[in-house]
Every structure is written in structure tokens, then in C-alpha cells.
């Protein structure tokens, strides 16, 4: 019996790398290791596949809300979830979505914009409380993190980095982002074990997805 959640996850991985305009239901089925008939048991057509993938992105945002009030106790998992969201789409995926499914494109774009607006306010609160470094504006902190993560992922897609290299760089970037934001007097209190499992899960998902380009 195929687990539909796992099936959508695999479809998401394929679509992030390949886009979806050139992928038929048959090619999608082959890419995720199921028969064409099995895929049709869950999705009537490619429109439903795209809908499921988009819903997965929107559900991630809904399930990882940014709190209205900053708290040092919850900062690490919130920040790591935001880093994961920064790498959750690709240029290919968003370009195909914009061209073929503009309503879905608008929904994903708006959800991400709203999320990062809330995250900017959240980081600014942490800076005001002197828990986070206030050397740079909150919006730049988020821009810099997005640039680092998306830069690594783009180079993998263009085969300028191997998956192994990118995995090491991404791991270093995640750790750097987790510790570099904290004020000096807070760094000694950092408990990386709090997010070790989540960080490992993020890296595993990256390797599963980007191995598909080889």
C-alpha cells in the first residue's frame, strides 16, 4: 500500500528539480517508483499532483508559524524552520508555477512573503531584547540567510557543486546561521541538541532531493 504523504513528498522532490511542464503522469510515476496506474489511484491528472505539492508547501508554513512574541526558548527551532523554508522552492518550480498555475504561484508567493514579514518582526524583537545580534537590520539578516542557502542550492542544480560538497556547505551554513545571530553573552547558553534531530532531517531531505539531478 502506497502512503500518500510519502508519495507527495517524492513528487515534490522530482518537481523541484525537473519542474513539471515537461513531465507527464507516466514520467512522474517512473520518477517516484510507482506504476502509472498506481499514480492515477491518488491523482486524476497532473493538475491534482501540482495542487498536492503546493498544498504541501502551504501546510509547512501553516504548521511552523512565527510567534508574535520573541522567546529565547523557541528561537532555535523557529529559525531552523525558516532556513528550511528558504530552501524549499527552486527557480524552476516557481517559474513553471507562475507560467502554468498563476493562482498557485500567487498563493505560495503570498504565504512566503507573509511568513518572512512576520519573521523580520520576530528577529527585530530578539535584537531589541539583546538576545540576537543587532549589528545589522533584521531584514538584512534574513536576506543574507536566503542568499547563502539559495546560492548553495543553485550551484548544485547547475552542477557547480556536488551533492556531497553542497551537503557539507549546507550543514556549515545551518550551524553558522544558528549561532551567528546570538549575542555573545547568549552563545554559551546555546543548546544545539535542541535542534540536532531537526537539522539532520533537513540535511537528509536535501540529499534525497538533489541526488535526483545526477
Work out the average pLDDT over 45-72.
Answer: 94
Q: Please indicate, yes or no, if residue 55 is contained in any of the structural domains.
A: no
What average pLDDT does this structure show over 68-75? 89
Residue-number span of the structural domain to which 187 is assigned? 65-213
pLDDT at 214 over 50: no
Per-residue model confidence as pLDDT tens digits over 123-166: 999 999 998 999 999 999 999 999 988 888 888 888 888 888 88
| Whole-prediction pTM | 0.87
Q: Is residue 40 part of a domain?
A: no
The three state secondary structure string of the chain is CCCHHHHHHHHHHHHHHHCCCCCCHHHHHHHHCCCHHHHHHHCCCHHHHHHHHHHHHHHHHHHCCCCCCCCHHHHHHHHHHHHHHHCCCCHHHHHHHHHHCHHHHHHHHHHHHHHHHHHHHHHHHHHHCCCECCCCCHHHHHHHHHHHHHHHHHHHHCCCCCHHHHHHHHHHHHHHHHHHCECHHHHCCCCHHHCHHHHHHHHHHHHHHHHHHC
Q: What percent of the chain shows pLDDT beyond 90?
A: 45
Domain membership flag for residue 117: yes
Total domains present in the chain: 1
The share of the chain scoring above pLDDT 70, in percent, equals: 92
The pLDDT confidence band at residue 8, using thresholds 50, 70 and 90, is very high
Please, what is the average pLDDT of the chain? 87
Residue 119 has pLDDT above 90, yes or no: yes
- Local confidence band at 192 (pLDDT 50, 70, 90 cut-offs): low
Q: Answer yes or no: is 51 within a domain.
A: no
Amino acid at each position: 500500500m502506497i502512503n500518500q504523504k510519502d508519495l507527495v513528498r517524492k513528487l515534490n522532490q522530482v518537481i523541484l528539480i525537473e519542474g513539471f511542464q515537461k513531465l507527464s503522469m507516466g514520467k512522474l510515476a517512473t520518477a517516484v517508483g510507482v506504476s502509472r496506474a498506481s499514480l492515477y489511484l491518488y491523482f486524476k491528472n497532473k493538475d491534482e499532483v501540482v495542487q498536492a505539492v503546493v498544498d504541501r508547501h502551504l501546510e509547512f508554513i501553516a504548521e511552523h508559524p512565527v510567534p508574535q512574541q520573541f522567546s529565547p526558548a523557541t528561537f532555535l527551532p523557529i529559525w531552523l524552520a525558516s532556513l528550511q523554508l528558504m530552501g524549499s522552492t527552486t527557480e524552476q518550480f516557481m517559474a513553471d508555477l507562475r507560467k502554468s498555475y498563476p493562482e498557485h504561484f500567487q498563493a505560495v508567493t503570498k504565504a512566503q512573503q507573509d511568513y518572512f514579514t512576520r519573521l523580520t518582526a520576530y528577529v527585530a524583537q530578539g535584537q531589541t531584547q539583546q538576545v540576537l545580534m543587532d549589528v545589522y537590520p533584521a531584514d538584512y539578516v534574513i536576506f543574507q540567510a536566503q542568499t547563502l542557502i539559495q546560492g548553495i542550492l543553485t550551484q548544485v542544480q547547475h552542477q557547480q557543486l556536488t551533492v556531497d560538497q553542497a551537503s557539507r556547505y549546507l550543514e556549515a551554513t545551518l550551524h553558522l546561521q544558528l549561532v551567528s545571530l546570538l549575542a555573545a553573552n547568549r552563545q554559551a547558553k546555546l543548546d544545539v541538541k535542541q535542534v540536532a534531530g531537526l537539522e539532520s532531517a533537513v540535511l537528509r531531505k536535501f540529499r534525497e532531493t538533489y541526488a535526483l539531478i545526477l
